[in-house]
Amino acid sequence: MLFGTHFHLKNAVLSVGVLSFALLTGCGNNSQQNNETKAEASQTAPAAELPKEVRFAWGGGPRVWVLGKADGDFEKALGTKIKWVEFASGADVINYFAANEIDIARFGSSPAVAGITRGLPIEIIGLEGLISGAERLIVRPDIKNLQDLVGKKVAFPANSTAQYALEQALALNKIDKSKIKLIPLKPAEIVSAWTRGDIDAAYVWGPFTQQLEKEGGKEIYRTTTLNEKGILVYNNFAVRKEFAENTLTLLLNF
């Protein structure tokens, strides 16, 4: 099968995250009597106080996210204020979690797995969907296919789903990545490097892909191809464990 170690590890992490969240919310009781007892207790117990603010990390998103952020629908749904913390790539999210600067994040599967395997106290609480045409490999006009990347300078955001997709694309096509100069850059830095002529190709997401195309770049590969081959790349939602334990009602609303 084409499912690599990354896919199996993600499944394991997701299973742990879902199980932990289920335990936190009281799911999985052994009997109907237990369920009824807990329901009665919840009716008499005081409602948990919502936090005054939720620190939410995001790096842009679909139109529905942009609109929901702009008109305050997300804050209305959660019943509290949201502090929107922007990031350039998944590596930033991992650092924010490690420094206790965010509570919830919407980011890619690869950095999420990396964070959990590093021991960060976070849980996966939901999946948004597969990343498909949003992440693409944009190249100079003289590059016709992946094989032409040999000897070229290819940029990507470090510790991101774009990096994972690039490496998987090279592996599937039996291209030795050691023969390519791989350059980790933040998305905005990728555009600047392209404008200066410092790189020959870049695997990144929109709107940076569109900026590269406006400056003469063209697409030769997209993450959709990996998904079609069974290598799943997606966005998910993660939360700090301590925050999850104290804000179950808010997370259910989320």
Q: What domains sit in the chain, N to C, each tagged with a CATH number?
A: 53-130+234-253 (3.40.190.10), 135-228 (3.40.190.10)
Bond prior to 187 in cis (omega within 30° of 0): no
pTM passes above 0.95: no
Q: Looking at residue 63, what is its pLDDT? A: 67
| Interval 177-201 mean pLDDT | 97
Strands lying side by side in the sheet with 234-240: 81-86, 53-58, 104-108, 234-240, 122-130
Per-residue pLDDT of 69-117, as tens digits, reads: 888 888 998 889 999 999 988 889 999 999 999 999 999 888 998 899 8
Long-range CB contact pairs, 16-25, < 8 A, 24+: 16/116, 17/116, 17/123, 17/124, 17/125, 17/238, 18/124, 20/123, 20/241, 21/123, 21/125, 21/244, 21/251, 24/244, 24/245, 24/248, 25/248, 25/252
State how far the alpha carbon of 147 is from the alpha carbons of 36, 91, 176, in Å. Answer: 62, 28, 10
Q: What mean pLDDT value characterizes the chain?
A: 82
Contact 79, 52 (CB under 8 A): no
Q: Is the pLDDT of residue 62 over 50?
A: yes
Tell me which of 5-19, 48-62, 183-197 is least confident: 5-19
Q: Within a 13 Å sphere around the CA of 164, how many CA atoms are in the beta-carbon half?
A: 27
